[in-house]
Amino acid sequence: MNTNSQIPQYKKENWLIPLFMIAIVLIWFLFPWALSYLAKWFEWNIQNPEDPNFGTFGDTYGALNTLFSGLAFATLIITLILQRKELQLQRKAVQDQQIEIQKSNDIAEHQVLITEQQADLLEKQIQKAQVQNFFNVLFPLFNRKKAYYEEADKLPVFGPSSQLENIKSESTFKTLHFGAVRTYENFEKTYGSDFLQKDEIVRILKKMIQGSQYLLSYSYLKGSKYKEYFLYIINFIENFEGIDDKDRDLALSIFISDFSTRELYIISLLTIEDDVLLDKVIKHKIFDSFIKNDRDGRSIFSLLYSE
């Protein structure tokens, strides 16, 4: 039964108890008068010991006392029963309240879960938008490489006067690539088995570059926009907010894939006198393909650019 429907019945039962008690008190007070009236009506001489009705009043009053005692006990039982019902109703009300609270908690938890899901979805949408924005900005930057490459490829190529006619028609990158290969081969033949530290390798390479007739144009390339562009793209990918390492690795992979073997050799030359650039190519494994192809582990790329 619903608690709300039980409350009116309970209130009705509570009103019966006072009425019942009032009725008992009235009977208690009216009963002696009624006995006196009956004695006069039936001409009982209740004060004469010889009268056969003598003692009737006392016996009747004693019976009334017994009756009232029984009624009092019955009233006590009824009161206990009513109290038991009251406790049951209170317990039922508490249980219903607990059920309502539990339902409210379940609804609140469900709402919190929905809110968290919406927040996660919003965060993913924001992250997706940031990644899309990152690549939308990055790809146009990639397109600038061609202009910087062509500009750097026209830098002056210097050499001994006796060889000027042989190299003046060659491009800057072709000349530097040839010189880099010759320099690295000479280093590997001379120092490949010496287990040198990276600082010592850099020092030796600087000295070898300074003495190479094909690498004098290297000094021009160090200050070119081509080098600045390469370093700028790496810094841009590293510092762009809202993307994870997976997106950064993908962007770097796309960026490096546009560089030829010749260009990567030139980048390796540029790291010799640029510690920042050297650290970044090692960190991002720019020359990892060269290192994997070096079975002996004696090439410049394995010795200088391995982590």
pLDDT at 304 (0 to 100): 93
Cα three-residue angle 191-194-197, rounded to 5 degrees: 95
pTM of the full structure? 0.63
Place 134 in a pLDDT band, splitting at 50, 70 and 90: very high
Asked, for residue 9, whether it belongs to a domain, the answer is no
pLDDT at 57 (0 to 100): 52
Number of Cβ within a 10 Å radius of residue 187? 20
pLDDT at 161 (0 to 100): 44
Asked, for residue 120, whether it belongs to a domain, the answer is no
Residue written as token pair 């607990």: 98
- For the chain, the three-class secondary structure string (H helix, E strand, C coil) is CCHHHHHHHHHHHHHHHHHHHHHHHHHHHHHHHHHHHHHHHHCCCCCCCCCCCCCHHHHHHHHHHHHHHHHHHHHHHHHHHHHHHHHHHHHHHHHHHHHHHHHHHHHHHHHHHHHHHHHHHHHHHHHHHHHHHHHHHHHHHHCCHHHHHHHHCCCCCCCCCCCHHHHCCCCHHHHHHHHHHHHHHHHHHHHCCCCCCHHHHHHHHHHHHHCCCCCCCHHHHHCCHHHHHHHHHHHHHHHCCCCCHHHHHHHHHHHHHCCCHHHHHHHHHHHCCCHHHHHHHHHCCCCHHHHHCCCCCCCHHHHHHCC
Q: What is the pLDDT of residues 206-235, one digit of tens each?
A: 999 888 776 667 878 888 899 999 999 999
Place 140 in a pLDDT band, splitting at 50, 70 and 90: very high
pLDDT at 15 (0 to 100): 66
Greatest mean pLDDT among 39-43, 55-59, 83-87 lies in: 83-87
Asked, for residue 197, whether it belongs to a domain, the answer is yes
Asked, for residue 289, whether it belongs to a domain, the answer is yes
Asked if 301 and 291 touch (Cβ cutoff 8 Å), the reply is: yes
pLDDT at 170 (0 to 100): 66
Share of the chain above pLDDT 70, in %: 73
Residue range(s) defining the domain that contains residue 180: 140-305
Predicted confidence (pLDDT) at residue 22 exceeds the cutoff of 80:
no
Asked, for residue 261, whether it belongs to a domain, the answer is yes
pLDDT at 226 (0 to 100): 92
Average of per-residue pLDDT across 119-145: 91
Predicted confidence (pLDDT) at residue 138 exceeds the cutoff of 50:
yes
Q: What is the pLDDT of residues 85-113, one digit of tens each?
A: 888 889 999 999 999 999 999 999 999 99
pLDDT at 286 (0 to 100): 94
pLDDT at 179 (0 to 100): 87
Place 199 in a pLDDT band, splitting at 50, 70 and 90: very high
Q: What is the pLDDT of residues 170-198, one digit of tens each?
A: 688 888 898 899 999 999 988 877 788 99
Asked, for residue 151, whether it belongs to a domain, the answer is yes
Q: What is the pLDDT of residues 153-169, one digit of tens each?
A: 887 665 444 444 444 55
Listed residue (126, 128, 142, 132) closest to 252, CA to CA: 142
Residues 6+ apart with CB under 8 A from 125: none
Asked, for residue 285, whether it belongs to a domain, the answer is yes
Asked if 178 and 214 touch (Cβ cutoff 8 Å), the reply is: yes
Number of Cβ within a 10 Å radius of residue 131? 18
Asked if 64 and 26 touch (Cβ cutoff 8 Å), the reply is: no
Asked, for residue 172, whether it belongs to a domain, the answer is yes
Which has the higher per-residue pLDDT, 202 or 77? 202
Mean pLDDT of the chain: 81
Number of domains in the chain: 1
Which has the higher per-residue pLDDT, 195 or 42? 195
Number of Cβ within a 10 Å radius of residue 170? 15
Q: Which two tokens stand for residue 114?
A: 């929905």
Q: What is the pLDDT of residues 275-297, one digit of tens each?
A: 999 999 999 999 999 999 988 88
